[in-house]
Structure 1
Amino acid sequence: MMLAAPNWLRAQSADLVLCDRLAADPADPDKPADVKGVGEVAAADVATAIKFCKVASGASRRALYQLGRAYAAKGQMPEAIAAWRKASDKGSTSAMVELGVLYATGSGVARDEVEARKLFERAARAGNPRGVTNLAALGGGAASTDPVRARELLAKAAETNAEAQYQLGLMLADGTGGPKDDAGARALFEKAAAQNHPGALERMGAFAQEGRGGPKDSAAAKAYYQRAAALGDEDAKKALKRLECPIVIGDKHGNAVTNLCF
């Protein structure tokens, strides 16, 4: 005989569903695959997101992180920081990254690059690609991030995460932190593109257009660019324009004036 879930558990699940719908981060590794997420919590949704995420946060570190996002969207940074601290203590790597950004920039907290680095490193070791890329962004002298180590961390995260696949693909394509590997980069971009990652779609367009790391395919390149452009990627939009208008007309000084389109 199947037992029905207690009323409080069903309510908790409903609150989390609504919290996810309004405040989930598309790049959060904790986010289930069937949850789309939102780039930013919409102003009209902030109060509702806070309400449902606050209830759901009692049993979900993801909801705690999302509660912080909702508070931040409302400009209530002390509340956002408190939520992210709790989520970070429970293992939310996305909360670690957000706190690291605040410490790195001195936003809402005293600027502390050492603490920022610790948070980014914790997130990176757990496989969060933003942790890796933010470590690299800190840079600077003896504290500069080791690109070889960055590759290793991204390789772990790239087993399951589209953003990590894209970031590692960029490193392989540029030969950063190890040998240049166009075929390997293309394979990673293809994996991330299959998950509708805009940057990876744009890179797949470029690689297919140039025949880099695999066969040259102009039709596939255009299709990749179109998908990336539809998701808002500016580089893909420019690439499509170049495909449609390939001949550049310049002035007597060699400056581009216009393009001829077909």
Structure 2
Amino acid sequence: MTRCAGGARWIARGIAGGFVATLLLPVTAAPARAQSADLVLCDRIAADPADPDKPAGVRGVAEIAPADVETAIRYCRNAAGSRRAIYALGRAYAANKQPAEAIAAFRKAADKGSTSAMVELGVAYASGAGVARDDAKARQLFERAAEAGNPRGVSNLAALGGGAPADAGKTRALLAKGADTNAEAQYQLGMMLAEGVGGPKDDVAARALFEKAAAQGHPAALERMGAFAQSGRGGTQDSGAAKAFYEKAAALGNADAAAALKRANCQFAIKDKQGRLVTNLCF
């Protein structure tokens, strides 16, 4: 056997008393398979900007434009070998007011591992949109997405709250994974720490989480920071800071913060003989 330039090999093998040289060409890696035109167009008009499966070079659209819906359905359906295309197809069906088709597409994409599709299915089960409402299934889907690192899975799991006692510890652990950057996860984990749900109570850590979420403009976290600053819970007592937090939260529509501001201005309560509140005196 001898070698040729470029890595090809000649192998001499005997046939009927003679020798025949056979050229074996080198094995080379197959070229990367180009994306289909259908998938490219599906991405362009229907990709979800928040989908972890979306290629870095694809911008995506928050909502599929009405004029693009039928086109999106056609191209994404043609590219349905890709799980992100199946998920985008579900988005297009949802935009076209075809809930049954949307759910079927999301289910298929989720079975292929699309965490964004898991989130959409979870939302459907949590709200009863297109399927029978089932909070347990919603939680399972959000947990799967959260465990895979999907930020929307974390925030939607957080929105369900601490859950049943049996899974509160798991929920707390999953929220901790997303609490570095996700304001909703920070707030919900802070609430679990403040109330001792799913693990030890920790006012200092809860306050730190509320502060992080408040810095991102989370209304409920701003309200909690107001309450913690007002009472000195988990840190320094500061009435001025409390009022500032309440004002920011109230401006964002938080009713609890607005009520706290009113109580601060109406500190004197008028009660009847039975001790029931009649009104507050405001100054």
TM-score normalised per structure 2: 0.64
Cross-structure match for 2:261: 240
The count of corresponding residues between Structure 1 and Structure 2 is 235
Tell whether 2:66 aligns with 1:47.
yes
1:1-262 alignment, distance < 5 Å: 15=45, 47=66, 50=69, 61=84, 68=91, 71=94, 76-82=98-104, 84-85=106-107, 88=110, 93=115, 95-103=117-125, 107-110=129-132, 115-127=137-149, 128-134=154-160, 136-137=162-163, 139=164, 145-262=166-283
Task: From the superposition, tell whether residues 119 and 12 of structure 1 become closer, same or farther in structure 2 (CA, over 3 Å).
Answer: closer
- How far apart are the structure 2 equivalents of 1:229 and 1:69? 37
The alpha carbon displacement at 1:160 in A equals: 1.8
- The answer for unaligned runs of 5 or more in structure 1 is 1-7
The structure that has the greater radius of gyration is 2
Evaluate the alpha carbon distance shift between residue 255 and residue 164 of structure 1 in structure 2; reply closer, same or farther with a 3 A threshold. Answer: same
User: Does the 8 Å contact 2:161/2:188 carry over to 1?
Assistant: no
Secondary structure at the counterpart of residue 228 of structure 1: helix
Shift of 1:187: 0.4
Contact 2:93–2:101 (8 Å) recurs in 1: no
Secondary structure of 1:216's aligned partner? coil
Q: For residues 126 and 110 of structure 1, do their structure 2 counterparts lie closer, same or farther at Cα, with a shift above 3 Å needed?
A: same
Structure ranking higher in helix proportion: 1
Question: Which of 1 and 2 has higher RCO (CA within 8 Å, sep 6+)?
Answer: 1
Cα RMSD of the aligned pairs, angstroms, is: 4.3
Which secondary structure state, in structure 2, belongs to the residue aligned with residue 146 of structure 1?
helix
Deviation at 1:236, TM superposition (A): 1.0
Query: Structure 1's 110 and 223: CA in aligned 2 closer, same or farther, altered over 3 A?
Result: closer
Query: How far is 1:209 from its partner?
Result: 0.7
Residue deviations 1:79-115 (CA, integer Å, cap 9, x gap): 4424544664575545423312433565423566664
3-state DSSP class of the match of 2:160? Answer: helix
- Which blocks of at least 5 consecutive residues in structure 2 are unaligned? 1-37
Q: Which residue identity is paired with 2:118?
A: M
